[in-house]
Structure 1
Amino acid sequence: MTKRDPVARRPLGASYWKLWSSSGLSNLADGVFSVALPLVAITYTQSPILIAGVSLALRLPWLIFALQAGALADRMDRRTLMVVANTTRALALVTLAVAALMGLGSIWLIYVVGLAIGFAETIYDTSAQSIMPQIVGRDQLSRANGRLYAVELTANQFVGPPLGGFLVAAGAAIAFTVPAGMWLAAVGVLLLIRGSFKVQREGEKTTIRADIAEGLRFLLGHRILRTLAIMTGIFNLASSASFAVFVLYAVGPESAMGLNEPAFGVLLTASAIGSLLGSLVAERIEDWVGRSRSLMIGTVGGAIMLGVPAFTTDVWLIGIGFFLGGVTVVLWNVVVVSLRQRITPDRLLGRVNSGYRLIAWGTMPLGAALGGLVGEWLGLTWVFGLSAVLSLSLLAFMYILTDRAMDAAEQDAVP
């Protein structure tokens, strides 16, 4: 792999650090919300299928709206889209908080709000990944993405989950109001970033449909990007299956692990600690062992994380597995996201990101549904074991993802 040019070490700039701060607040809200929602949901039902439906509602928008979100990110100001998306997510959570105070909460209302938040998330995440090359130079992307992952994962997985567990113990209304306020605070910081983040378009006006088709042609016609999207989609299917039902395996006096809500949140911080470490060392590992070996390490580590609950209920062993998975999955993400940003023309980046996520994230609702069905029919340990096997099968794709092939793709890229 080509070594980084020394110019990549120049300062990332004030706009980057405002984006970094806003992302930290937004992801802290995500972390609280991601734990609070299933913990509140299990107060309404103990059915694995209905609990898996919460993850299905959150991820289904990636399957049906991702392409449109990408087209919007290439047509409109990306920062404005992020502001609108976070405001929408905050208002949706306020709705749940009010319902909880009035005694009107239900699993069905959680599904509706989950869908609304999921649609907003498709717009926010697509715009957030697409705006990065407008904030920093392409030669700085690995470092910028690594630092961004550090704050996102610290907030989303280290601070957010235990905070979410404690807030649920204090009451559902509080657990939903706090992350809503965090999303609004993130909006305030985004508004401090100066400049326009609308991509200049040349030529005749086109339709949304034509824009989507152009982005898909680029993605599906690029062997490296296509392979990475498929691999990520398979892993996300496996991980969604596992984590959609893990709350039933871990929480409650009759569960396999017997944890309470705060302890569950603390357990999830094991992967957060690993993720934070991974985000800080990812660029160094990428330079040291190369991109191809980095992706192999990410694949094996992810399988360990998903599979360890199939063999033990020991909280320490599961925590170690989550820690290893956190390190390696973030290593994978930094390598893949930075490569995709480098080899995709900026005018197509929103659409390519959304098309990639349609493949990579569109499998999540299917994984959540499969996790619920397998857990209902065969038991929860089968979900974890099968997910690990599916993750390991991704090593079969590595003959395509050589360092030479990825270097060539980067060199042939058109800005």
Structure 2
Amino acid sequence: MILIVLAQNLHATPLAIGMLFASGGVGSIAGAVLSGPLQKRFAFGPLTIVSAWVWAVSWLALAVAPNLWVLGVANGVSFIIVPIFYSVQFSYRMIAIPDHLQGRVQSVFRLLSLGSQPLGLALTGLLIQWIGPGQTVVLLFVPQALIALFATLNRRLRAIPSLSELAPKEIG
């Protein structure tokens, strides 16, 4: 929603707005392609930390984008990180959580992550009306930056080994 309002403020045509959404799709595909190699090369903690910072900074870039090209690149970069983050998190949960608890943990994760989206969208819409789109992006950047900072400072998160080190060894 906020991408549409930001694009309209830059006098985007409906075609340009569609292309902006396509930049997110291209970013998602690129992130999905990069996800496997990144998980093999980097440990869980650094990937989580970098994902949090890339998401926060690319989100903030939406607020200061001077034109549609920059807005599209910022949107594409923000969507590159989504499949990387989710695949790393999902893979870690699959490895670290006992089989008999998988359903419970995955359902709680989905409830919290997806269940909060309607509230977030409603809040975003209200904030756009009250303070404007650029200021809304900056305001919503603050909790994202705090989460990224918390992740960066969390020693336990940084110490989690790579997924290949956590995965059970194959038999035979």
TM-score, length of structure 1 as denominator length: 0.36
Give 1:390's aligned amino acid.
P
Matched, 1:301 2:26: no
User: Matched residues, percent identical?
Assistant: 23
User: Alpha-carbon deviation of 1:278?
Assistant: 1.6
> Which residue does 1:144 correspond to in 2?
none
The correspondence of residues 341-360 of structure 1 with structure 2, limited to 5 A, is 341-360=94-113
> Which residue does 1:397 correspond to in 2?
151
* Greater Cα radius of gyration, structure 1 or 2: 1
Matched, 1:247 2:1: no
Of the three residues 324, 328, 339, the one matched with 2:77 is 324
5+ residue gaps in structure 2?
A: none
The number of residue pairs the alignment matches comes to: 164
CA distance in 1, matches of 2:84, 2:119: 25
CA distance in 1, matches of 2:33, 2:65: 30
Of 292-301 and 338-347, deviating more is: 338-347
Distance 1:286 1:403, change over 3 A: farther
Distance 1:390 1:333, change over 3 A: same
Distance 1:317 1:360, change over 3 A: same
Secondary structure class of the residue paired with 1:401 = helix
User: Alpha-carbon deviation of 1:304?
Assistant: 2.6
> Which residue does 2:10 correspond to in 1?
257
Of the three residues 55, 64, 76, the one matched with 1:311 is 64
CA distance in 2, matches of 1:371, 1:303: 16
5+ residue gaps in structure 1?
A: 1-243
Secondary structure class of the residue paired with 1:382 = helix
CA distance in 1, matches of 2:72, 2:16: 12
| Matched-pair contact (CA < 8 Å) for 1:272–1:326 | yes
Distance 1:405 1:293, change over 3 A: closer
Secondary structure class of the residue paired with 2:160 = helix
CA distance in 2, matches of 1:373, 1:410: 43
User: Alpha-carbon deviation of 1:383?
Assistant: 1.1
> Which residue does 2:23 correspond to in 1?
270
CA distance in 2, matches of 1:294, 1:287: 11
Secondary structure class of the residue paired with 2:12 = coil
CA distance in 2, matches of 1:406, 1:280: 18
CA distance in 2, matches of 1:305, 1:404: 26
CA RMSD of aligned residues (A): 2.4
Higher RCO by CA contacts (8 Å cutoff, separation 6 or greater): 2
> Which residue does 2:33 correspond to in 1?
280
